[in-house]
A = this chain, B = another copy of it.
Amino acid sequence: MSKVVLEITMSLDGFIAGSNISRELPMGEGGNLLHQWLFNLKTDQDAIILDELMKNTGALILGNRTYATAIDDAWGGTSPFSAPAFVLAHKTPKEIVDGFVFVTDGIESALTKAKAIAGDKIIWVMGGANVMQQFLKSGLIDELNIHIAPLLFAKGTRLFDFIGNEKIALEKIMVKDTPGATHLKYKISRLGR
C-alpha cells in the first residue's frame, strides 16, 4: 500500500514560492533562495535525500499551474521524474508532455489513479500550495517531508494556509540537518478541533 507524501521545501516562515510566479520565475521572486540545498549548498546528505525521494516515488500529483509554469523552462519541456505525474486541471490541454497525465475530476480521482500504479512506492504530492492544502484538508496525506530553508521569505505563497480549522498532530520520524535545509519527516495523526 503506497503512502501519500507531501514533500516540499519551505522557508522558516512558511513560504514555498516567492511573489509573481511566472514561466520565467517558476518559483517566484527569490524562489531560488529556497532550494540552495539542491544547488550551491548541496552536500552528500542532501544528495542522498533527493536521490531516495526520486527512487522511492511511484507516482506524483501536481497542480496545473505548477505544470504550466515549470514545464517549459525549469524542466526544459520534459518530465524530470521517472514515475508518472498526474496533473490536476479543469481541462486537458491538446499537447501533453510525456510522463504527465491530466486528471479533470478532482483530487480523489487523481489519488485513485496514482495508487493504481504506485505499487509499494510513495505518491508524492508536490504542489502547488492549493493542491497540497486540498489534500491536507481532506485528510489524504500520510506523511509530511518538509525541508526548511534557512531564510525568512516575508511574502509569497504559504504552504500551510487555508488548511481548515482542525489541529493536526504530527509524529516526527526523521530529522537530518544540512547547511541548506533542515529535513523533517513527520507522520500525520488526526487530532480533532
Count of chain A residues near B, Cβ 8 A: 34
Number of copies of chain A assembled together: 2
Q: A167–B186 contact, CB under 8 A?
A: no
Residue on B nearest A184 in the bound complex, by CB:
B182
Q: A165–B172 contact, CB under 8 A?
A: no
Which residues 165-181 of A have a CB within 8 angstroms of B? 165-172, 175, 177, 179
Chain B residues with CB under 8 Å of A148's CB are 148, 184
Q: A12–B150 contact, CB under 8 A?
A: no
30 A-B contact pairs sorted by A residue (CB < 8 Å): A12-B144, A12-B146, A12-B160, A12-B184, A12-B186, A13-B14, A14-B14, A30-B167, A33-B169, A33-B191, A148-B148, A148-B184, A150-B169, A150-B170, A150-B171, A150-B172, A150-B186, A151-B167, A151-B168, A151-B170, A152-B167, A153-B167, A154-B163, A154-B164, A154-B165, A154-B166, A154-B167, A175-B175, A182-B182, A182-B184
